[in-house]
Amino acid sequence: MESQKPKSTIDFKLTPKAKSTSLLLLRHCILDKMPQNYGSTDLAKAQVLLNAYRYQYYRAITAQPENRRAYTYALNCPPSGFNALPKTKTCKNPKVCPWCFVRLRLVKAYRALLAVPVSAREGYQVVAWGRVTLNDEKLPFLRSNYGPHTWCEALVTVQMVVPFVNENVPQGQPKVQLCHSGIQIIPKDCEISKELNRYCIRPALKGKMFGKVTHDNIIKAMVAVLRLEWMALYRPHNLDAFEGLVNGFKRSQLIRISPYKADTADTAV
C-alpha cells in the first residue's frame, strides 16, 4: 500500500534547459539506465524518477513522522537540468537525490576533467576505471600521491565513491555497496590496465580507454563507471537502505579531485 502524499508536495512545472551540462549528465548517467517503458523523453523519465524519489520519502515520513519537516524539504528538491517552477531549495544530499548527485558530483567531475586546456590535451587520453567494494569502515579511495594519479602521470584524476543498492547480492548480505570509480586524463602511451594491475589494489580495478580528450569521450567515460540504477533505491522493499543513506556518510567526502595544474606538463619535461 502506498503512503499518503503530504499536502506540502510542490507541483513543479518542468521545462528542459537548453544546452545544459546538467541535463546532458542527467540523461546519460541516470535517465538512460531507466527501463524504456518509462517514456522516451528526458522530461517523461525525469517525472517517473521524481515520483519514485518522492514516494520513498513519503514512506520514510510514514515510518518516522518526526522527520516530516526535513524530509518534506528534501522531496521538494528541484530536478537538475530543468527550469523548475516554483523555485525551491536544493537538498544537498547526493547520496539519495539524483538531482543533487548531478549538481554536486557529476557536474563537478565533468568540469574538473574539462579544465585541461585544449592546447594541453595533445598526446593525452581519457580513461576510466571502477570496482565495487563492501560498505565497511574504510572508504576505498586511493591516495593522490601514491595511486593511479601518480602511477599514470595524470593531468587530472577524479575519484568518486557512490553508495548504491545492489539488488543482486546473495540473501543475508548488506544491499548497500560502494561503487568506487575513477576518471583520468593520462598520457596516450600509458597502459591503464598495466598500471592498475598492482597487488596493493584489492579488489582489482577494471580500466578502459576512451581516446582523445573531448567532451563526448569524457561523458562516455563517466557513463562507463558512474551509470547506476537509481530506481532500485526507491523501491518499497529498499526503504531501510534509503533511510540508512539519507543519514549515512555524514562526514565523508565522497568525491576527491586531483585537479589540473597548468605547470604539470612543463615540469614533467
Least distance CB 260 / Zn ion (angstroms): 28
Kindly state the smallest distance separating residue 75's Cβ from Zn ion, in Å. Answer: 9
Least distance (Å) from Zn ion to the CB of residue 36? Answer: 26
Q: Which is nearer to Zn ion, 81 or 147 (CB)?
A: 81
Q: C-alpha cell of 248?
A: 549515512
Nearer to Zn ion by Cβ, of 89 and 261: the residue is 89
Nearest-approach distance from CB 189 to Zn ion, in angstroms? 41
Rounded least distance, CB 206 to Zn ion, Å: 30
**Per rule CB under 5 A, count of chain residues that contact Zn ion:** 6
Q: Are the beta carbons of 109 and 257 closer than 8 angstroms?
A: yes
Torsion angle (degrees, nearest 10) of CA 217, 219, 223, 228: 170
Residues 40-99 touching Zn ion, rule: CB under 5 A, are 77, 90-91, 97, 99
Counting Cβ atoms within 10 Å, is residue 200 exposed (0-12), middle (13-18) or buried (19+)?
Answer: exposed
The answer to whether 101 contacts Zn ion (rule: CB under 5 A) is no
100 near Zn ion (CB under 5 A): yes
Nearer to Zn ion, 77 or 196 (CB): 77
Question: Omega into 148 within 30° of 0, i.e. cis?
Answer: no
Give the CA dihedral 111, 179, 243, 78, nearest 10 degrees.
20
Closer residue to Zn ion, CB minimum distance, 91 or 225: 91
Q: Among 228, 237, 256, 247, which Cα is nearest to 29's?
A: 228
Q: Which is nearer to Zn ion, 109 or 128 (CB)?
A: 109
Read off the C-alpha cell for 120: 594541453
Amino acid residing at 89? K
Which residues of the chain form contacts with Zn ion (CB under 5 A)? Answer: 77, 90-91, 97, 99-100
